[in-house]
Amino acid sequence: MPRMISIAAKDGGSFNAYLAEPAARKGPGVLVIQEIFGINTVMRGICDDLARQGYYALCPDLFWRIEPGLMLDDRIEPDLQRAFELFGQFDLDKGVEDLKACLPILRGLPGATGKAGSVGYCLGGRLAYLMATRSDVDASTGFYGVYLQNHLDEAKNIKKPLLLHCATEDKFVPKDAQAQIAEGLKGNALVTRHDYVGQDHAFARVGGEHYDKASADLANQRTAAFFKQHLS
């Protein structure tokens, strides 16, 4: 059964993370990086699905320093506004350090193979990119990551495969930013980008305003194949 576990932060304190385990109790790990809504139903569902695919899936509470235990719903206006407030207060560098602290936990679970990937959405997509540039994660996938154009100077640090799913009509990633990202990552053999033409931000969020099943299914299939190739 899925459960919450506690993880020690490198700078003191601890935070909770949702852990879903494969039925076989054996397999690689995937770090699931939240959107701006905490470890909500959507994130827990992603973890549960990865567990069904044979992975240990761990989703940490990244807003624990501000307001721990949040589980917000993007369809509720006050929750949406609170999520954007939290995004503005979030310390990106400390968030990366918290994610890095999760990797040895994932790799050391009973039955774990030692391989660990990351997958993130929105804010988590940005963090998945930064995990590829700042950590020893074995493979990373970002869904509609925001502000990647601010970190293109770090692309030279990518040592393991990175897969990016980009929405061409993303209201949070303007066309000029999309062009900068494409140009900045062009020629990097470790980076694969897929554009989802006509799709808006969070097209893979089940139940979300811009959810598109066909595009979500395609992105999820590509992610599954990517992790199977690089984490097996």
Domains of the chain and CATH, by start: 3-231 (3.40.50.1820)
Known active-site residue 195: no
**pLDDT tens-digit series, residues 167-190:** 999 999 999 999 999 999 999 999
* Residue-averaged pLDDT of the chain: 97
- Using a pLDDT cut of 70, give the percent of the chain over it: 100
Residues 63, 184: Cα–Cα separation, whole Å: 30
Q: What is the DSSP letter of 21?
A: -
Q: Residue range 78-98: average pLDDT?
A: 96
> To 5 degrees, how large is the angle CA 150–CA 67–CA 174?
25
**Range 127-146 average pLDDT:** 98
| pLDDT at residue 185, as a whole number | 97
SS3 assignment, position 155: helix
Q: Judge whether 194 counts as a catalytic residue.
A: no
Which residue has 């990551």 as its token pair? Answer: 145
pLDDT of 1 higher than 90? no
Q: 200 pLDDT band (50/70/90 cuts)?
A: very high
Predicted local confidence at residue 48, as pLDDT: 98
User: DSSP class of residue 71?
Assistant: B
Q: What percent of the chain has a predicted confidence (pLDDT) above 90?
A: 99
Catalytic residue chosen out of the listed positions 170, 194, 195, 217: 170
Catalytic residue, candidates 201, 210, 217, 230: 201
